[in-house]
Amino acid sequence: METLSFEFPAGKPPKGRALVGCVGSGDLEVLLEPGTAGMLTIQVQTSVNGAEQRWQHLFERIFQEQTPPALNIDIHDFGATPGVVRLRLEQGFEEIGHE
């Protein structure tokens, strides 16, 4: 297991929280909670050692398209593909958008 940390610029914190996905069988769990204005922090616990650059590039691609809300995101990964990671993050963003 490896724990990775990332930070990105962000907007304002949302009011809501979200939990999407589940750990197991090539999936992942994503917990999104309001963070500090202007900052998005991500903690990834992954079963895939040596994948920090892959995660960094994935997050950069996602957040270059939009300014994310200020969040603390915890990801528990069990070998999910980049497509699944993106899907779960988008689901989480959608969930926190519903108040």
Confidence of residue 23 (pLDDT cuts 50, 70, 90): confident
Mean pLDDT calculated for residue range 51-79: 91
In the prediction, which pLDDT does 26 show?
A: 64
Digit-coded pLDDT (tens) for 26-59: 678 999 999 999 999 999 998 888 889 999 999 9
> Which residue's structure tokens are 């809501």?
16
Question: Which letter does DSSP use for residue 41 in this model?
Answer: E
Pairing of strands 71-77, 39-46: parallel
